[in-house]
Chain A
Amino acid sequence: MSAVSGNLASGGAKTPVKAPVAKSSLWRQSIRRLMRNKLAVSGFVTVVFMILLCFIGPLFSPYSGNHNNLAMMNKPPSAQHWLGTDKLGRDILTRVMLAGRISLTVGFASMVLSVFIGSLLGAIAGYYRGVVDQIIMRIADLLLTIPSLPLLFIAGAMLSAWKVPTDYRMYIVMLMLSVVGWPGLARLVRGEMLSLREREYMQATIVLGLRDRRKLFHHLLPNITPLLIVIATLNIGGSILMESVLSFFGLGVIQPTPTWGNMIDAANNLIDFQERPWLWVPPGLCIFITVIAINIFGDGLRDVLDPKHKR
């Protein structure tokens, strides 16, 4: 509440407004409020830490991800191999960090793609309504009615059947995840658009004779940016989880390219599961920590940015 009253005090027309603050006051306020939420900040710090660990960490590692060392198979954590080695003598720590690169990239990229597709189609559907709306939303409904996991399994199995090279699989998995990710988002954006397009200031843009493209992207989309940021953040966590599930079943990104999901695959083997927890606990923890951190941060963002979720 103090933020609101502060805003009123500085927003009066007759009181002088400090120019640099006026420009970004909305965003600054949000950031200030977010900083007050300790849990969200800790989530953010954790995510940044994981990103730094995965992208910079391997540079300091003496091992490469695919370097086999048959003399050092299945060794428990030691001074040379902090998290031990796997059945081919590869350093687990290095592989976990490299796997993080893939998992985070896939999560982030598929989020960008699904937010892009979802908000574009949702905006078009909500703005134009009529036939366009019907077509887009029925496709979205169709995708929503099919549970996404089986759909992804089928797609993954097709990739395996066609023997798609492992380097490409990462990109195809991104695409697959965004295909199942956009419909929910499109619905949300469409709903917002339906209510926004009837606002008086949108009628004012008609009077100005602006093109539809300008109206959509310059006037309407900025109105839902906070919402999109929140969804996008929460979406990354979901995508990472999805990718892990797929890779765990050998249907996402496959060995030898490491991802957190296909590393936990080791837990499938009873001996590895019981005797060699260093094989699967680190990637599992990474998924757990990253996804939890992203979700906590996303919830904090929502409290700040989305007016409908204010408690």
Chain B
Amino acid sequence: MASHLLDIEHLSTYFYTEEGTVKAVDDVSLQVRKGETVCIVGESGCGKSITAMSVMGLIQGPSGKVVSGKIDLEGTDLLKLNRNERRVIRGKEIGMIFQEPMSSLNPVLTIGQQIMEPLIEHLRMSKKEARKRAIELIEQVGISRAEQIANSYPHELSGGMLQRIMIAIAISCEPKLLIADEPTTALDVTIQAQILDILRNFREETGMSILLITHDLGVVAEMADYVIVMYSGKVVEEGEVTELFANPRHPYTQGLLKAKPILNQRQDELYSIPGQVPNPLDLTESCYFHDRCEHCLEICKVQAPELQELGTEQKVACWLYEKEATARV
């Protein structure tokens, strides 16, 4: 096994609200190897973004807290670092791209100024060097007239261009890990492919790892080496991308794959998983998916299944695959 770049162990992030505690991320472990693309998939509210934000240290304030766990980046536990050490890692070792490129750039600063910021901050470049590098970066993400674009303001560019600029900013210091939180969700489909291409090219050139968060299985199929399926703050299944797509084990993953439209195949009605994501406030000791599951067993309602290995490189948290579970029923 290749060495792990990012190693998250038993991460739990809770939010304390007036109605009760929300376990947004509950005992999640995942690994990202060097040069690998790992995708986290799941519905809205399943905790995929919170996982990314926990890694970045964006969970702040009185209500949210990383309760337990370890986030190792090349052997240093990010959670044990102080504010300043953490700041240095952000932007330099880990880059991040957000979902909404339009609102992620400061409207009153030019594109060039915003790309220069991390270069000046982390790589201690002079303004002149930073500007030169910024223009190179704009060219690298496939925008012509780089000089001109550097002088323009965010409102003058389209969403697709802004997302490229966001990528340029995120990779400016050549981070080892790039976290992309739904980078293509706000863009139209033709632009999506271009953005993904840029990300893939960069990964190949620099050997960085990508942690891609998405709900789009098409994106997963295109980008991922390894897939992690999350549901209600827990990992329900993970595995190699080809294996997982060919052989989904967890009923939730099966449902997700079934709910995807297939090109050139007319369907009267698209499959949808019945029911809704459970309210994170009143989760009981059970498999959180049990009330939507076609194969629900008795034990599913009273006890949560553990993530267990199934053959090579695939793990699933479901009682259907536990021998003793089937024995008990």
Contacts and interface: CB of A to CB of B under 8 A. Distances in A.
Interface residues of A, number: 31
B157 A211 contact: no
A23 B113 CA distance: 12
B105 interface: yes
B121 A17 contact: no
A205 B265 CA distance: 45
A208 B104 contact: no
A218 B106 CA distance: 10
B108 A223 contact: yes
B103 A199 contact: yes
Interface in B143-179: 145, 147-148, 151-153, 155-158, 161, 166, 169-170
A223 B100 CA distance: 20
B156 A214 contact: no
B98 A204 contact: yes
A17 B155 CA distance: 12
B88 A201 contact: no
A201 B105 contact: yes
B151 A214 contact: no
Contact of B98 (A17, A200, A209, A210): A200
B213 to A, nearest CB: 14
A256 interface: no
B309 to A, nearest CB: 34
A207 interface: yes
Contacts of A19: 147-148, 151
Contacts of A211: 87, 121
Given A201-B104, A211-B121, A206 B148 contact: no
B106 A223 contact: yes
A210 B117 contact: yes
B101 to A, nearest CB: 10
Nearest to A200: B103
Nearest to A210: B121
Interface in B48-77: 56, 58
Contact of A11 (B148, B156, B170): B156
Interface in B111-128: 113, 117-118, 121-122
Nearest to A196: B106
B156 A13 contact: yes
Nearest to B56: A207
A203 interface: yes
A67 B110 CA distance: 56
B156 A17 contact: yes
A22 B104 contact: no
Interface in B74-105: 87-92, 95-96, 98, 100, 103-105
Contacts of B58: 203, 206-207
A26 interface: yes
A124 to B, nearest CB: 17
Interface in A260-309: none
A207 B169 CA distance: 10
B109 interface: yes
Given A13-B156, A26-B153, A222 B109 contact: yes
Nearest to A206: B58
Given A22-B151, A214-B121, A218-B117, A208 B105 contact: no
B91 A208 contact: yes
A59 to B, nearest CB: 41
A225 B106 CA distance: 14
A282 B104 CA distance: 55
A22 B117 CA distance: 20
Given A200-B103, A201-B104, A223-B108, A208 B156 contact: no
Given A26-B153, A218-B117, A207 B103 contact: no
Contact of A219 (B88, B91, B109, B170): B109
A311 interface: no
A13 B157 contact: yes
B161 A13 contact: yes
Interface string B184-198: 000000000000000
Nearest to A212: B87
A12 B87 CA distance: 36
Contacts of A310: none
A19 B147 CA distance: 9
Contact of B158 (A14, A25, A201, A207): A14
Interface in B246-279: none
B118 A209 contact: yes
Given A11-B156, A13-B156, A200-B100, 6 more contacts: A22-B151, A23-B110, A205-B117, A208-B117, A209-B118, A223-B106
Q: Which 5 A-B pairs have the closest CB atoms?
A: A209-B91, A209-B90, A13-B158, A208-B91, A200-B103
12 contacts: A13-B157, A17-B156, A22-B153, A200-B98, A204-B104, A207-B58, A207-B95, A208-B91, A209-B90, A210-B117, A211-B87, A225-B108
Interface of B: 56, 58, 87-92, 95-96, 98, 100, 103-110, 113, 117-118, 121-122, 145, 147-148, 151-153, 155-158, 161, 166, 169-170
Interface of A: 7, 10-14, 16-17, 19, 22-23, 25-26, 199-201, 203-211, 214, 218-219, 222-223, 225
